[in-house]
């Protein structure tokens, strides 16, 4: 506090002002009974003083102050040494994401440099002759290239660095040329589309020639044709072309991989148990249904799906803060049933989005 540094046990309300200590270098000032030093917020405490009386609680004259109530409480309005961090205290563990607070603590401790993991360099490539950029004319049979922009934003939000993004047509030669241009410049390649079983699925065809393919299909919904391959140190994620499949696959596989590469202690999202508000029908595969998760007044987490769960409906992810993990089955899950959910956002004590539910 801005005020006066004094001796707390002094019972005399009258104190002579003997100097002024501003924030900054400590001056050779001392305080004893009957005296006070004017002091500013953040200033070092003069020798002998053990309390600060705010300026609003004194009557101030030219060379002295009169304190309204004495004695004072020792230590009042003083930040003791070690009140922020104790000597020898462990502050940041390896694998901690450095954000605004962490960066401030690093500076507080006097470190101009710290060892950090390099951000993975990522390229994002959309495939398909049917794709056009936003703003371009949309002829019959063409669709907007939305996946590339969603993936770039998701990768950057995860902390990785997108060094390239583009789209290529449905020819192996065009994709091969693009990858040759990126050779040695990236750590991770994320593609969208071209990984299914069609004759023009160029990612599947090219990876079979140039990379070690570890898996091509997963027993999950959405995202069944997800492909993962490596070419030396390069990680390659071939994501499905359907927008929801692409983003759910990213959330489940690509994001944890990027965070692991950066040394994150907890690369996976938190999973919790939620109570269904609406009926949910399982499928023949494990399914990750998009949902709005809210907090009931009693603290219970409630989940309502975002409506139609088809993999082309990107709007089913709009505002969704959870992925319900629905095991394979034939019987519907009724309201009140408890299911696990991956939290991709913070549950709110509010009503679900008006997008939910919608008719098929």
Delineate the domains of the chain, giving CATH numbers in brackets: 3-67 (2.170.190.11), 121-261 (3.40.980.10), 271-343 (2.40.340.10)
Which residues is 66 bridged to in the sheet?
14, 59
The closest alpha carbon to 142, from 153, 151, 134, belongs to 134
Strand order in the sheet with 58-60: 51-54, 3-6, 35-39, 14-21, 64-67, 58-60
pLDDT at 55: 95
pLDDT at 10: 95
What are the pLDDT digits (tens) for 206-228? Answer: 887 888 999 999 999 999 999 99
What are the pLDDT digits (tens) for 2-39? Answer: 999 999 999 999 999 999 999 999 999 999 999 999 99
pLDDT at 199: 61
pLDDT at 351: 54
What are the pLDDT digits (tens) for 180-207? Answer: 999 999 999 999 988 876 666 788 888 8
pLDDT at 321: 95
Nearest-angstrom CA–CA distance, 160 and 120: 5
DSSP H or E segment with residue 18: strand 14-21
Nearest-angstrom CA–CA distance, 45 and 162: 50
Inter-CA distances, 356 with 278, 287, 291, 305, 321, Å? 10, 18, 9, 7, 13
Q: Convert 93-118 to b/e letters by CB count within 10 Å (16 or more is b).
A: eeeeeeeeeeeeebeeeeeeeeeeee
pLDDT at 197: 67
Strand order in the sheet with 212-215: 161-168, 121-127, 188-192, 234-239, 227-231, 212-215
Enter the pTM of the model. Answer: 0.79
pLDDT at 218: 94
Question: Does the structure show a pLDDT above 60 at 359?
Answer: no
Mean pLDDT for the chain overall: 92
């Amino acid at each position: 506090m801005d005020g006066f540094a004094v001796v707390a046990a002094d019972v005399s309300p009258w104190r002579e002002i003997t100097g002024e200590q501003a924030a900054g270098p400590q001056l050779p000032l001392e305080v004893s009974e009957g005296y006070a030093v004017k002091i500013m917020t953040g200033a070092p405490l003069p020798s002998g003083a053990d309390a600060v009386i705010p300026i609003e609680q004194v009557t101030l004259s030219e060379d002295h102050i009169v304190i309204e109530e004495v004695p004072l409480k020792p230590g009042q309005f003083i930040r003791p040494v070690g009140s922020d961090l104790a000597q020898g205290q462990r502050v940041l563990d390896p694998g901690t994401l450095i954000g605004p607070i962490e960066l401030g603590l690093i500076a507080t401790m006097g470190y101009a440099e710290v060892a950090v993991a390099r951000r993975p360099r990522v390229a994002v490539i959309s495939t398909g002759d049917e794709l056009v950029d936003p703003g371009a004319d949309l002829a019959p049979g063409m669709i907007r290239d939305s996946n590339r922009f969603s993936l770039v934003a998701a990768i950057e939000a995860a902390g990785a660095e997108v060094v390239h993004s583009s789209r290529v047509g449905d020819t192996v030669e065009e994709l091969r040329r693009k990858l040759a241009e990126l050779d040695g410049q990236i750590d991770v390649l994320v593609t969208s589309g071209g990984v299914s079983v069609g004759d023009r699925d160029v990612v599947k065809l090219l990876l079979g020639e140039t990379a070690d393919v570890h898996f091509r299909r997963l027993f999950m919904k959405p995202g069944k044709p997800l492909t993962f391959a490596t070419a030396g140190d390069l990680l390659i994620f071939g994501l499905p072309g359907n927008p929801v499949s692409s983003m759910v696959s990213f959330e489940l596989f690509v994001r944890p991989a990027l965070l692991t590469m950066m040394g994150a202690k907890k690369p996976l999202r938190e999973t919790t148990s939620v109570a269904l508000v609406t009926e949910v029908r399982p499928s023949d595969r494990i399914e990750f249904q998009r949902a709005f998760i809210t907090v009931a007044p009693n603290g219970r987490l409630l989940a309502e799906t975002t409506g139609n769960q088809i993999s082309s409906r990107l709007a089913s992810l709009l505002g969704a803060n959870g992925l319900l993990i629905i095991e394979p089955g034939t019987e519907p899950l009724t309201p009140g049933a408890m299911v696990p959910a991956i939290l991709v956002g913070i549950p709110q004590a509010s009503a679900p989005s008006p997008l939910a539910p919608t008719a098929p």
